[in-house]
Structure 1
Amino acid sequence: MSAHEIPYELAQDILRVLDVQHEDDIERLASFSPLASLNALFPDQAALAELDAVQGRLREDQRALQTQIDELQNELRRDQDPDRMQLIQEMIGELFAQMNRIREKATESEAIVRDITKDIQVLDLAKKNLVTSMTTLKRFQMLVNALGQLDEFVAARKYADIAQTLDAVKQIAGHFKGYNTVDRIAVVTRRVQEVQGRLRTMLEEDFDHFMLQDPARPVKPSVIRDACAVVDVLGEDVRNHFIEKYCSLELKEYRRIFKSTDEAGQLDNVSRRFAWFRRVLTTYEEEHASVYPESWDIGQHLCAKFSELTRDDIVGVLQKAAPNLTVTLLLESLQHVLDFEGFVSKKYKVPLMDVLRVITYPVHAPRTISSAFEPHMNVFVDAQDKSLADMLAPYRGAKARSSLDSASEAVAVVLPSSTELFYFYGQNLEQCAKLSTKQPLFDLCTLHRKWLRIYAEDVLLTTLKQAPAPIRKSTDSRVNLHDVANACTLINTAEYCYVTAAELEDKIKEKISDDYKEKVTLQVERDLFMSVISSAIVALLRELDTAMEPSLRQITSTSWATQDAVYGPSPYVAGLVTSVETVVEAARNSIEQKKWTRNFLDKAANLVITRFTACLVKSRPLRELGAEQILLDLQTVKACLLKLPGPSHQESAAAFTRTITKSTSSLESLLKVVMAPVDPPDAFIHNYLVIVGDSSFANFQKILDLKGTPRNEANALVDKFITTTSTRDELQSTSFLSSLDMDPNVFSPIKTISPSSSSVNLTALATGADGAGGHDGPGAGEKRVVFGDLRRFVNFAIRREKEGAAHPGS
């Protein structure tokens, strides 16, 4: 308990004395502050003089509270009087008893009311039964009378009256389905069925006489028209029977004439089938359409039945003709079928499948005639395969080069063979989509994929794999502009094929059935065209590399160590700049897509810097003046590179400038370090740490090697460098010098470069074929550890020497 806390009992007494009012006692005690109350009673030291008066007031307040408490306790004792509680319980018991009496009275009243209304309910039921009996008797009388009239009309063959009366009889008879156990009603029901049976026999006879045109029993069309109304009343099954009978009679001759074993039934006579059926359809419309109700759809039933019979015949004919089936016969026959199916759909203004569904098929769902050709559409696909092979034969293999090296001096923006290929694709896609949108169209898509791969590999890539031209002399820096133009044409062609293949994929998905949409993709083939672009860009870089080679050889053959002054750009610079500008300008003007122009420019610039760096390293020692001369040459080369985008690519010039500046900054830093004199050593090492900023022993040795520093002087500088960097923990262990190969293969061939990257790997081009240069990369990680251990060992030795000098007697 703290010094300001008071006991709980004392706090309660103070609350009662001060009459502090709160809604809740717990909150009142928790918020009560004795010190605040005492300060209110005695606000200052002078108030202590009135202590007796305050005590008197408090005693008066205590007595008043005690009096109030006594009154409340007396009132509580009165309210809790046992006699009064017993009286309340007795009153509650009486209330429950009264409720039970009321419930009993209500039950008795309900029984009395039910007894009173019992007779009324019996009377109501009797009335209801009487009304039902009278209604049933009246209906039965109506049924008997109507049935009598129907017998008379049937005997007289009055079909118009029969239709109305039979409809009424069937409606009335429907009310007696639940009374078949009554003998009289059962007899009448059997009479109704017998009359319908006689009617059906009469209708069969009259329809046969009408269809066969029997002179002995001529039947007027008006009679058949009225008879059709009777058929509708007899029910849907009877109507379907007569429709099917009509169709069978009309197509009876068709089955005889066009047997699959006869000449008329062969595939080359399929057009005669449809001509014959059109005449039947015309006969129906001119002679019988006015007889049969329009709701019977006799014309659609004829088309559906004819399609079913024809499809079955053609399936058999195709199976027999399959070994010798030609694409011409197949397409001509299929075209006749499609024309007929289009004619039916257009005639009735509904989809063909809706027409075929008007008849019932016992085994399978309705099928079109054209679906019979789908298993044999491989003949069409094979024909397209042969056509593509013939079309691309002049451009494949060794002849691909001749397709580029045409007699025309102007090189096309894209190869004509690519536009011919996709034009052919568009034509046979439209043709196949009209014939089928299922498996045959998917097979055609597979064929398209095959020939896209062949075109990319055997036409485009083969062009780049031709035998190289005769080796040029080391002093020959002429650019083969025709090869540059051809490579640019391949880039444009591959880009065109890449984009158009995507459009072709969308077109196929738009036309093909939903079951095959997910299987349609040309992504693999599009990736092949990306590979063609990659190879073409490598060809351009190879041409650039060949053009630069004479100038680069001059760098390696120059004795930079004997340079006595800096007069201006070296002689090789003009040839190098001219070679770069010639190749880049030719490519820049021929490549259509700006993204590939920028891609090539980035790689070309990186190639120039990489080869320049490799020749620089190869031509060491440089000495100070040699490094200064090369730095001046580098500025000229850099200015050339910054102009490569040309005036038409200004929107990307800023980004390209940043790329060139970043690529040349490391080489500039390298040359600035080499330019610095080694005397005094501290200033040389400080200059290295400011420009390079690493503590790598190997990198420092590279600078000394480039400068051609004598061994003894180099050893002293290395010792000084290790001593200086041992206390500079903020220095990095690697820098741009870590990836510099001191023994590059200057004239190594250019490797394949992915077009997805915007720059050539400078290190890979500078380090030779295997890429294993003398840099501290991941493969040389152990070297950095060794140098680090050596540095720690030297630091330890230095500290021991200092300790020995401070304590010589130890």
Structure 2
Amino acid sequence: MKSTTGTERKPPAPPIEKGVRVIIPPLSSATTTVALSRNLTQLLDAFDTYVSNRRSSGTHPDPIDFINQHYSRESLLVAQLPEIRDAISERMNRLDDRISNALQRQSESAEATQRHVQDAKVNVASLEKRIRQVQTKASQSEKTVREITKDMKRLDCAKRHLQRTITTLKRLHMLIHAVEGLRQSCLLQPHPDYKSASHLVDATRLLLKHFASYTHKVEPLRLLSNKVDDLQGELKFRLVRGFRIIGFGVEKTQEFERKKSNFKSLVDPEEDPFWQVENESCDGSSEGHETKEIELPPMMTPDTMSGGILLIDAIGKEARIEFMTGVVQDYLVEYSKIYKPVKGQPKEKARVSSFMAQPDASEEDVKPEFALEFVEKRFLWFQTLLTEIQQKFPTVFPPYWNLEYHLTKNFLRRTHGHLLALFNGPTKDSDANNATILLKTLQKTIIFEKDVSSALQREYGVKFREAKNKDTKENAMNAGPNSRGRSSVNKKTPTKNIEDQSDANSDDGRAPTLQEPVDPLLGVASSAFDKYMRPYIDLEEMSMDEQLRSALEDRTVDTRGNYPVYTSSTKLFVYIKGSITRCTALTKGNTFYLLHKAFKDSLRKYSRVLSSKLPPPLPQKSVGPLNMPPVPFANKQLQDTTPAQIASYRVPTGEEVTVCHVIGTCEYCAETVEALEDLIRDTVDGTFKSKIDMMATQEAFHEITAKCIRILVSGMENRLEEPLKTMSSTNWAVFAEVGEESDYVRAMHKEIQPFISTARGLIPKSYFQNFCDKFALGFTTTYYDTIVRLKAVSEPGSQQLLLDVYNLKTLILKLPVLEKSPVSTSTARKATGSTIAPAMYTKMVQKQFKKIEFLLKMTGTPINLLVDVFKDQWHGGTVHDLQQVMSLKGIQRGQQAKLFEKFGLDPVQARKGAAANVTSATIVSEKFQAVQDQASRVDMSQMKQRVSDFRNAFR
């Protein structure tokens, strides 16, 4: 199709997807605008794109803006209006045609859809009708089948009930037959057939399960169940009697049966041949009467007893526990009779060597069988008991019963109770406070626990359970208080013990036959000693105190290490290590914890022993921080931080070696205490691990070390008092000629060099550096104060002092690296390490001497240049420093006021400061007097408490 202008129209552009913004390049050139305006199809497409873009960006389309973009002149638009109108009409016609075609297609498809819906409705109605017909036929068929099978269901129900009745009758017949067989087995002579009875017990138990719901409702079944219980009880009774006869004899068995027992017989004692033996034996003693001899049945053979064990297992776990409880109680009755502590028990003579004369035994020398000294007899008695049981019952008790283990554990528990009674209470043993007897008894008890555990594993196949999270002794300690009240025969103890090992039962009601691990025996009896080992702790403390007493005068030094230490310290730690070895071989519980406390106490005492070797402090003239009088022109920080006088020490010649040995010993002790703490924490029982703390003990040695450093610093400073007095007594105001270093400087060299070199070879490097830091700081401060206190210094005097300061500065800088002097003690080690002083130390010393040098340089400066030079060279110098310089120069007060004004001070303040004429010496004197006046009012105890609280806050 062609337009009215004769040009061929192009197909419409593809539609633009919604949401896509098309960016049209600007039509700025006239050529592009004219070309686009001539191609009306592209123009309309561009308008569509413009409208879409504006709407997608949320802006209302503006046709005028579009026209302005595409037509630069109105004449062009007017010229093309007809063509544009035709193009728009043509596009509208095409759109109308498309809409018409679409409506026609939609109408046709709607008619087809309606026809399809009508057809579907007809088909659904037909299907529904067919479904209803099928349902009706199904209901009729079901009714027909139900009528046909009505009689068959009745027959099936009758058959099912008949089969159940037949099965029940068969089971009832089997139950009656099994009960009768059990009765026949029980009546067999001379002993019941226990092996057959065990099978019948299994059968009756399984059969009775089927009648469990009818036992209480049907009387015959209840009687039958009771009869089974009675027969089982009779079998158990005769089995227990047979075991007792083999183990203890007839008379002992009768004695057991007279007492209250869990096993009862169905036979009347008057008809029981076992009891007729005793009656006939009593009647046979009468003269003139004939006695009828009644023979007892023969003893059970091992096979018969093994069958009895099978019977007990068949009856169930409770029967096994009851049987084992009775066996354990029977065999330990004699033990309680002999060794249970009783007040007023008959005593035996103490052991005396056959080579010694036999003295007359007094009442105090005789001790009972249950005494601590004879604890070994208990263990020999039990070993004999195990041997007898093994001989009388060979291969009878199966390994999974662990009978020997339960017997041993109950024996140890009773021994635990007996020992507690011997340690405390009315039956307390006279040797309970004897450390030697206690240690021997504890050692024998632990050895027995270890030996019997090994024997049970080796000979009886007992498997011990490994302790988890807790030590074996800790488990025993937890059981200790519970067994304290069971010092006598306790019927519940073995029962509870056996129940712990047999907590699993099989589904058929039989006792389990799988051998299970059991708790270890180590500590069951020996744990009784833990709370009563105080005599042993006292003995160890006495031994350590004896070493401490010998250490007071012992000054022997061990030089084998990096630095010399007192041999008394190494001996003390060797003894502590041996004590730990001895104690942990016996116990790691409460006793070891108490011993660790004794170690801490002895080590603190040893720290005081080391402190006693130090020189005593000199009498103090003033103590504590006091309020100083105000210093003119001094800043507030200087007045607030005036150092308080502390304790002063005088170290005689050679005594510095002793102080150094104390430092080395304290360092060795602190390091060893830390290792000792780790060793004890790793060894002690878990209950006490968190309580192990030896930090206070380490702190005690660190405090002694700090005190030694202060003593060395104070001692060195006191040795320099004479040279400083010489310096102060020199009249520097008339000093006229500068020469070599002054005499007081050479005297200081002679005092400092041997002292420092000796200390360097005897103490650790870190402590030596600390000593050098404190001494250098204290010396420079004292030297500065000494210069300030000089009355007047001439210019040559200041030059001489500068020379002296240079020599002293060189010496102080070399302190950390001074070599050991040739003449020194034999115990000093050769100092090794760097020959260069630490940078921080060098910086500190240079800073301190720099202030001294500035002071002396300013003192030698002419008065007319003093203020200018002071401002230029002494950076940070204060008015107070300037006043000190003027005091050293001896400047008059009027001239000082002028210099203060030149320095920049207010004239009023300048005149006030100059009028005060307060020299540095006057200031120091006033401070000293103020300290002296208030010294008596200082509460030393309160001050120490504050220091202690401050330290504790950082721990």
For residues 341 and 182 of structure 1, the distance between their equivalents in structure 2, rounded to whole angstroms, comes to 56
Q: Which residue of 1 aligns with 2:291?
A: none
Q: Which residue of 2 aligns with 1:155?
A: 187
Could you give the per-residue CA deviations for residues 74-103 of structure 1, whole angstroms, max 9, x where no partner exists?
89999899x99x989x98996999699599
Alignment of structure 1 residues 265-280 onto 2, 5 Å:
265-280=370-385
Could you give the per-residue CA deviations for residues 493-512 of structure 1, whole angstroms, max 9, x where no partner exists?
11122222222222232233
Q: Which residue of 2 aligns with 1:449?
A: 600
Tell me, what secondary structure is at the counterpart of 1:568? coil
Name which of 347, 351, 372 aligns with 2:455: 347
Once the two structures are TM-superposed, the CA of residue 454 in structure 1 deviates from its matched residue by 2.4
Name which of 414, 437, 440 aligns with 1:329: 437
Once the two structures are TM-superposed, the CA of residue 145 in structure 1 deviates from its matched residue by 4.2
Alignment of structure 1 residues 667-706 onto 2, 5 Å:
667-680=852-865, 684-694=866-876, 696-706=878-888
For residues 379 and 615 of structure 1, the distance between their equivalents in structure 2, rounded to whole angstroms, comes to 62
Once the two structures are TM-superposed, the CA of residue 483 in structure 1 deviates from its matched residue by 0.6
Alignment of structure 1 residues 756-795 onto 2, 5 Å:
none
Letter in 1 for 2:888: L
For residues 169 and 385 of structure 1, the distance between their equivalents in structure 2, rounded to whole angstroms, comes to 69
Letter in 2 for 1:306: F
1:188–1:405 Cα change, 3 Å:
closer
Once the two structures are TM-superposed, the CA of residue 526 in structure 1 deviates from its matched residue by 1.8
For residues 92 and 455 of structure 1, the distance between their equivalents in structure 2, rounded to whole angstroms, comes to 115
Give the conservation status (yes or no) of the 8 Å contact 1:613–1:667: yes
Name which of 708, 730, 739 aligns with 1:567: 739
1:224–1:691 Cα change, 3 Å:
same
Give the conservation status (yes or no) of the 8 Å contact 1:481–1:586: no
Tell me, what secondary structure is at the counterpart of 1:464? coil
Letter in 2 for 1:321: K
Letter in 2 for 1:497: C
Once the two structures are TM-superposed, the CA of residue 540 in structure 1 deviates from its matched residue by 1.1
Q: Which moved more, 1:692-701 or 1:240-249?
A: 692-701
Give the conservation status (yes or no) of the 8 Å contact 1:673–1:691: no
Once the two structures are TM-superposed, the CA of residue 672 in structure 1 deviates from its matched residue by 3.3
For residues 747 and 84 of structure 2, the distance between their equivalents in structure 1, rounded to whole angstroms, comes to 117
Name which of 537, 541, 550 aligns with 2:722: 550
Once the two structures are TM-superposed, the CA of residue 151 in structure 1 deviates from its matched residue by 3.8
Q: Verify: 1:460 aligned to 2:610, yes or no.
A: yes
Q: Which moved more, 1:595-604 or 1:15-24?
A: 15-24
Q: Which residue of 2 aligns with 1:483?
A: 655
Tell me, what secondary structure is at the counterpart of 1:705? helix
For residues 99 and 483 of structure 1, the distance between their equivalents in structure 2, rounded to whole angstroms, comes to 128
Q: Which residue of 1 aligns with 2:898?
A: 716
Give the conservation status (yes or no) of the 8 Å contact 1:561–1:626: yes
1:694–1:659 Cα change, 3 Å:
closer
1:71–1:298 Cα change, 3 Å:
same
Q: Which residue of 2 aligns with 1:41?
A: 70
Q: Which residue of 2 aligns with 1:755?
A: none
For residues 689 and 98 of structure 1, the distance between their equivalents in structure 2, rounded to whole angstroms, comes to 120
Tell me, what secondary structure is at the counterpart of 2:833? helix
For residues 140 and 25 of structure 1, the distance between their equivalents in structure 2, rounded to whole angstroms, comes to 100
For residues 624 and 36 of structure 1, the distance between their equivalents in structure 2, rounded to whole angstroms, comes to 98
Q: Which residue of 1 aligns with 2:913?
A: none
Name which of 44, 49, 71 aligns with 1:20: 49
For residues 733 and 231 of structure 2, the distance between their equivalents in structure 1, rounded to whole angstroms, comes to 129
For residues 137 and 602 of structure 2, the distance between their equivalents in structure 1, rounded to whole angstroms, comes to 100
Once the two structures are TM-superposed, the CA of residue 548 in structure 1 deviates from its matched residue by 1.8
Once the two structures are TM-superposed, the CA of residue 604 in structure 1 deviates from its matched residue by 2.0
1:51–1:506 Cα change, 3 Å:
same
Give the conservation status (yes or no) of the 8 Å contact 1:484–1:587: yes
1:117–1:510 Cα change, 3 Å:
farther
1:704–1:218 Cα change, 3 Å:
same
Q: Verify: 1:649 aligned to 2:833, yes or no.
A: yes
Q: Which residue of 1 aligns with 2:494?
A: 359
Name which of 407, 410, 414 aligns with 1:302: 407
Q: Verify: 1:208 aligned to 2:244, yes or no.
A: yes
Tell me, what secondary structure is at the counterpart of 1:515? helix
1:229–1:623 Cα change, 3 Å:
same
Q: Verify: 1:166 aligned to 2:201, yes or no.
A: yes
Letter in 1 for 2:806: Q
CA RMSD, Structure 1 to Structure 2 (Å): 4.7
Q: Which residue of 2 aligns with 1:285?
A: 390
Q: Which moved more, 1:92-101 or 1:605-614?
A: 92-101
Could you give the per-residue CA deviations for residues 247-304 of structure 1, whole angstroms, max 9, x where no partner exists?
2333333233324224111121111111111121223334424221111112112211
Give the conservation status (yes or no) of the 8 Å contact 1:322–1:376: no
Letter in 1 for 2:434: T
Q: Verify: 1:597 aligned to 2:768, yes or no.
A: yes
1:662–1:130 Cα change, 3 Å:
farther
Q: Verify: 1:608 aligned to 2:779, yes or no.
A: yes
Q: Verify: 1:315 aligned to 2:420, yes or no.
A: yes
Give the conservation status (yes or no) of the 8 Å contact 2:792–2:890: yes
Q: Which moved more, 1:273-282 or 1:615-624?
A: 615-624
Give the conservation status (yes or no) of the 8 Å contact 1:479–1:582: no
For residues 590 and 584 of structure 2, the distance between their equivalents in structure 1, rounded to whole angstroms, comes to 11
The gaps in structure 1 that reach 5 residues or longer are 1-13, 470-477, 727-739, 749-763, 773-810
The gaps in structure 2 that reach 5 residues or longer are 1-42, 251-294, 347-367, 458-463, 466-471, 484-492, 501-520, 620-649, 820-831, 909-918, 936-955
Alignment of structure 1 residues 369-408 onto 2, 5 Å:
369-395=525-551, 400=552, 402-404=553-555
Once the two structures are TM-superposed, the CA of residue 720 in structure 1 deviates from its matched residue by 1.0
Once the two structures are TM-superposed, the CA of residue 69 in structure 1 deviates from its matched residue by 7.2
Give the conservation status (yes or no) of the 8 Å contact 1:17–1:62: no
Q: Which residue of 1 aligns with 2:308?
A: 227
For residues 875 and 331 of structure 2, the distance between their equivalents in structure 1, rounded to whole angstroms, comes to 101
Letter in 1 for 2:654: H
Could you give the per-residue CA deviations for residues 333-359 of structure 1, whole angstroms, max 9, x where no partner exists?
222222222223333453678999993
For residues 62 and 724 of structure 1, the distance between their equivalents in structure 2, rounded to whole angstroms, comes to 99
Letter in 1 for 2:797: G
Tell me, what secondary structure is at the counterpart of 1:19? helix
Q: Which moved more, 1:604-613 or 1:267-276?
A: 604-613
> With structure 2 as the length reference, what TM-score do the two structures score?
0.64
For residues 677 and 110 of structure 1, the distance between their equivalents in structure 2, rounded to whole angstroms, comes to 139
Once the two structures are TM-superposed, the CA of residue 519 in structure 1 deviates from its matched residue by 2.6
1:506–1:695 Cα change, 3 Å:
closer
For residues 103 and 463 of structure 1, the distance between their equivalents in structure 2, rounded to whole angstroms, comes to 121
Give the conservation status (yes or no) of the 8 Å contact 1:209–1:219: no
1:621–1:360 Cα change, 3 Å:
farther
Fraction of identical pairs, as percent: 23
For residues 700 and 171 of structure 1, the distance between their equivalents in structure 2, rounded to whole angstroms, comes to 116
Could you give the per-residue CA deviations for residues 289-325 of structure 1, whole angstroms, max 9, x where no partner exists?
4221111112112211211222222222222336763
For residues 804 and 617 of structure 2, the distance between their equivalents in structure 1, rounded to whole angstroms, comes to 36
Once the two structures are TM-superposed, the CA of residue 485 in structure 1 deviates from its matched residue by 0.5
1:182–1:253 Cα change, 3 Å:
closer
1:115–1:702 Cα change, 3 Å:
farther
Give the conservation status (yes or no) of the 8 Å contact 1:618–1:744: no
For residues 628 and 113 of structure 1, the distance between their equivalents in structure 2, rounded to whole angstroms, comes to 140
Q: Which moved more, 1:70-79 or 1:692-701?
A: 70-79
1:91–1:691 Cα change, 3 Å:
farther
1:541–1:136 Cα change, 3 Å:
same
Q: Which residue of 2 aligns with 1:241?
A: 322
Letter in 2 for 1:30: T
Give the conservation status (yes or no) of the 8 Å contact 1:150–1:165: yes
Once the two structures are TM-superposed, the CA of residue 586 in structure 1 deviates from its matched residue by 0.7
Letter in 2 for 1:245: G
Give the conservation status (yes or no) of the 8 Å contact 1:203–1:227: yes
Give the conservation status (yes or no) of the 8 Å contact 1:745–1:768: no
Q: Which residue of 1 aligns with 2:258?
A: none
Letter in 2 for 1:41: H
